[in-house]
Amino acid sequence: MITYLEAIREAQAKALADDPRVYIHGQDVGNFGGAFKATKGLAKEFPGRVLDAPISEDAIIGAAIGAAIEGLRPIVEMQFADFSTVGFNQIVNHAATLHWRTNVPCPIVIRLPSGGTAGGGPFHSQSMEAIYAHYPGLIVMTPATVEDAYSMLLEAVSIDDPVVFCEHKYLYYHLKAAALPTEAVPTGKARIARMGRDATIVTYSAMVHEALACAEELATEGWEIEVIDLRSIKPLDTDTVLASVARTGRLLAVGEAWPWGGVTAEIVARVATDGFGLLDAPPKRLNAKDTPVPYHPNLWGTHRPTARTIAVAMRDLLRS
Amino acid sequence: MVHTKEVSAPPATPSALQDACLTAFRWMLLARTAEEKIANLYRGGKIIGGVFLGKGQEAVSAALGIALREGDIFAPLIRDQAGRFAFGEALLDFTRTYIGSRLGPMRGRDGNIHRGRPRAGQLAMISHLGAMIPTVAGALMARRFQGLTGAVGATCIGEGGTSTGAFHEGLNLAAVEKLPLVVVVANNQYAYSTPNDRQFACERLEDKAAGYGIDGHSVEGTDLVACVTVLGQAVARARAGHGPQLVVASLLRLVGHGEHDDASYVDPRLRQGPVGRDCLKLAEQHFLRAGWCDAETLRQWQGDAHEQVEAAVTTTMREPLPDPNQEDWCALSSRHLIDGFAAE
């Protein structure tokens, strides 16, 4: 069995082995192997190509941009997605604008260990995907499976544009697969994680698994819920979402991020704009509460959507 | 036409120093002439957006530019037209970006001093101060990864920019990696309108170098001969493997922050003091006094610069402007990954 975290490690090992232009830069990623061990053993296996960085997120991203201009393909690890705000300027104002301004591509991968875990608290739990997706010039990946963690990270390295790779910390150890994939669905294509005919849940990352658990529970009540895993939120596969809503007539968009704006708002806006006539009921959204992410599990477990709260929202939607 | 003269080591002999100063001077003259022309066009309403001039900073900028050579990496800031020309930027890149020609390197997508040709080592600054320091550092790391040695990276900033986190992070990273990076701080006494006593509390900015474990240099930015000497030494030390070099040049911005700014906040005592001297005039006086060139030659160079600038502006004015109907409005280089909904 291979975990989501091991898949990320293996994808980086393969990228380093296959392409001499790839290197890894980040805090504690060298001999220590990273705060989560996503680069375990890579510094030894690829001498001089996996470098510890000072605690300087701005400089780490800025340096990656300079290296990309010179033709390299850096992978940088932000120790937690939350800390990427210190490098925010370089990501959104420099990396994201470089190709458009100068016609020189900026192939960098920024790995963001994202999302909540019990005990993480306000500064080690954030879901930053929507804020990066807002900026033109960035690709934002949000893999929900071991297979996608592996194949999408490899694809991210091959893409000529900056990729913000939101890997979910809760899935690091919880999620396992029998083997690494040999085939990959290209980025930009959503996946129907479960077929259904009564309503559609559109979600991504760790919430895919909460949505699947919700669908399983509602199946015992006779409902068939379709679950769409977006895989990447930018580009966002609107066609697959609309096709699903055309079949089910009901939409619930679920995200672990905060409610104001963001991915769920974008999904509802797109369906309302291009698929209003497909809807049999007003579309719904479910997000985390509009507070910082709490530390204690008693609070955290209620702060973010879960299979239970998704089911409550879904029963509401099915009744409307 | 000004010819690029390769100056790859600090001028070792009096005649090499003389040659280097004369070369630098001609780039300073071209920059001053080109910028005055753009300022005139701005006043005539012909320039969209801001105009940011390097008047008073040409000596230090040109001295850096001539110390660099092909294959080096240079990320200039807003008052580095002389250094840009000396490093190889075409005059047409300057006029086209200011005037908005579609044929310029930024194609109307970005303007004025936000321009570059990154693949030629001419990085295109973003407005956020300090951001280019780690970027040049990263480009130098890339050279090292590829086993390429001998190149130097350089970038410029003002004293105000030394207050940013990016300045600290970038310089520290470069120091940790012992990169051949030269950071030139033009201490022009004001960050926009903010005087130095509201910007930093240390006595000398070059003292910051010790905190990073790197070499620090200071130079009178009004004195071309001193600038050519000190910048030549700093670039040579970086090239020889002595790690990052921080050079602080004292001078005064002789214009506003931009042409929209009358700089009424500048203390008149600074204008009348040593930092307020015009580096071009000082250089001319030195050349004549030392017999490095005669007045007729200076007039000829001024005429050459004027002719080049007029020709470039005339050419650019005839060129097509950006066309929203021909613009592809795609921010990604991977066109297959464009978000279809957003593109509609």
Block means of pLDDT (10 residues each) for chain B, 344 residues, are: 48 91 98 98 95 97 98 98 98 97 96 97 98 98 96 98 98 98 98 97 97 98 98 98 98 96 96 97 98 97 98 98 94 94 62
| Of residues B105, B138, B333, nearest to A66 (C-beta) | B138
Residue B1 confidence (pLDDT): 36
Note the pLDDT of residue B180: 98
Q: What per-residue confidence (pLDDT) applies to B8? A: 53
Write the DSSP assignment of B323-336 as a string of letters. -TTT------S-GG
Category of A222 on φ-ψ map: left (φ > 0), alpha (ψ -120 to 50) or beta? left
Q: Is B139 on the interface with A (CB under 8 A)?
A: yes
Contacts of B128 in chain A (CB under 8 A): 89, 93-94
Distance of alpha carbon A246 from alpha carbon A239, whole angstroms: 10
Q: Tell me which residues of chain A, numbers 110 to 129, contact chain B at a CB-CB cutoff of 8 Å.
A: none
Q: Is A146 exposed, middle or buried (0-12, 13-18, 19+ CB in 10 A)?
A: buried
Q: Which CATH architecture has domain A191-319?
A: 3-Layer(aba) Sandwich (3.40)
Q: Does A54 touch chain B (CB under 8 A)?
A: yes
How many Å lie between the alpha carbon of A173 and the closest alpha carbon of chain B?
Answer: 30
Rounded CA-CA distance A136/B332 in Å is 8
A59 and B124 within 8 Å at the Cβ level: the answer is no
Residues 63-92 of chain B whose Cβ lies under 8 A from any Cβ of chain A:
73
**Cβ of B142 and A61 within 8 Å?**
no
Segment (H or E) for A194: strand A191-194
Print burial letters for A291-319: b (CB count within 10 Å at least 16), e (below 16).
Answer: eebbbeeeebeebbbbbebbbebbeebbe
Active site residue A209: no
DSSP H/E element including A212: helix A207-219
List the beta strands (DSSP E) in B95-188: 153-158, 181-187
Does residue B249 belong to the interface with chain A, where contact is any CB pair within 8 Å? no
Q: What ipTM is given for this predicted complex?
A: 0.96
Q: Is B332 on the interface with A (CB under 8 A)?
A: yes
Q: Give bridge partners of residue B155 from the DSSP assignment.
A: B75, B183
* Report field, pTM of the whole predicted structure over 0.95: yes
Residues paired with residue B186 on neighbouring β-strands, in sequence order:
B158, B249
Domain boundaries, chain A: 2-177, 191-319
Nearest to A100 among B73, B173, B331 (CB): B331
CB of B343 less than 8 A from some CB of A: no
Per CATH, the homologous superfamily of domain A2-177 is Thiamin diphosphate (ThDP)-binding fold, Pyr/PP domains (3.40.50.970)
Instruction: Please state the φ and ψ torsions of residue B158, each to the nearest 5 degrees.
Output: -100, 175
Tens of pLDDT along chain A (320 residues) come to 999 999 999 999 999 999 999 999 999 999 999 999 999 999 999 999 999 999 999 999 999 999 999 999 999 999 999 999 999 999 999 999 999 999 999 999 999 999 999 999 999 999 999 999 999 999 999 999 999 999 999 999 999 999 999 999 999 999 999 999 999 999 999 999 999 999 999 999 999 999 999 999 999 999 999 999 999 999 999 999 999 999 999 999 999 999 999 999 999 999 999 999 999 999 999 999 999 999 999 999 999 999 999 999 999 999 98
Q: Do B166 and A274 touch (CB under 8 A)?
A: no
Q: CA A167, CA A81: separation in Å to the nearest integer?
A: 9
Asked if B200 contacts B163 with a C-beta cutoff of 8 angstroms, the reply is: yes
Catalytic residue among A25, A94, A99, A124: A124
Q: Which chain B residues touch A236 with a CB distance below 8 Å?
A: 339, 341
Domains A2-177 and A191-319 share a fold: yes
- The domain defined by B14-343 carries CATH number 3.40.50.970: yes
AA identity, residue B152? V
